[in-house]
Chain A
């Protein structure tokens, strides 16, 4: 992705209760049964990282999601799960994961398109894509970190880890 977006969106503030969501799992199964969806409550009792990103196959997203995939065991040391969210559909996520041998959970904000990304102030209306937004939500469902990166910049995981450390240290 290049510099198509001016970063005018402000993410939800730290200290705010995270909005609920119901997003289809990118597992290649269109069947709208409950086990093919995830919502915020599924992560109750865990810290949760939400990584909104523009598109499965773009270069920056690829390296960002690959990094987070590599860090899954590290995040779990801090009792945290991570999910990636884009407007891609279930087959696209499945192919993206399988091609790159990734285990990270990817969810689809596909229909109605961008509904939950909008709730998280992470939807770029002009491009019809998620912004590159990060949230860390604690075990009580409260946002502890929020950031929207320029679309062309992979924000890495430095701030995610330092937030998880600060949650752990109370």
Chain B
């Protein structure tokens, strides 16, 4: 199993991260993802199911790795999720985006925010300022430095996971690590 892992995570999980789950979980799963990437879209329900399966044994962290040149809406989507965090709605926005990957233009992103009770005009204006750009860039560069080469890239307990992230394979490796 050890040959399924490569690079070390260069930036450990910290207060700037979005963390779902038990802070004392035995397994920390980090995804470097791009909200417009179809593969990340396919990984989304798999990760969700693993979160349910492993419950308090798993904490999940999402970091931005948008390929903004090839994906027209990837930056605005990342910006929207980061901005939603300012309203306490990061995971709601993260989920909404992955569940609506075909609707990621700014009017839709603003309407997602409104559906969480966020003032749409204010949200739009804040998006325009690009105030979340440094956070997104910082996530991206931490990924590059940790060997992220595309999306989704997963790190498990601080090591880059090179194996399959299909549900059964992913579950098997997490089970193995849990029992190790």
Contact = CB atoms under 8 A, between A and B. Distances in A.
A58 interface: no
Nearest to B153: A156
B69 A101 contact: yes
Nearest to B151: A63
A71 to B, nearest CB: 7
A163 interface: no
Contacts of A69: 67, 69-70
Contacts of B69: 66, 69-70, 101-103
Interface residues of B, number: 15
B67 to A, nearest CB: 5
Contacts of A64: 149-150
A155 B149 contact: yes
14 contacts: A63-B150, A66-B69, A67-B144, A67-B149, A67-B150, A69-B67, A69-B70, A70-B69, A74-B144, A157-B149, A158-B146, A158-B147, A161-B145, A162-B145
Nearest to B141: A74
Given A66-B150, A162-B145, 15 more contacts: A63-B150, A64-B149, A66-B69, A67-B144, A69-B69, A70-B68, A70-B69, A70-B70, A103-B69, A154-B150, A156-B148, A157-B144, A157-B149, A158-B7, A158-B146
A57 to B, nearest CB: 14
Interface string B73-116: 00000000000000000000000000000000000000000000
A111 to B, nearest CB: 29
Contact of A158 (B67, B70, B144): B144
A8 interface: no
A101 B68 CA distance: 10
B30 to A, nearest CB: 16
Given A63-B149, A64-B149, A156 B67 contact: no
Contacts of B70: 66, 69-70, 100-102
Most chain B beta-carbon contacts within 10 A, residue among A64, A67, A101, A161 = A67
Contacts of B146: 158
Contacts, number: 47
A124 to B, nearest CB: 20
Contacts of B149: 63-64, 67, 154-157
Interchain residue pairs A-B with the least CB separation, the first 5: A156-B149, A63-B150, A154-B149, A158-B147, A100-B70
B154 to A, nearest CB: 14
Contacts of A156: 144, 147-149
Given A154-B150, A158-B7, A67 B67 contact: yes
B133 to A, nearest CB: 12
A157 B146 CA distance: 9
B150 to A, nearest CB: 4
Contacts of A161: 144-145
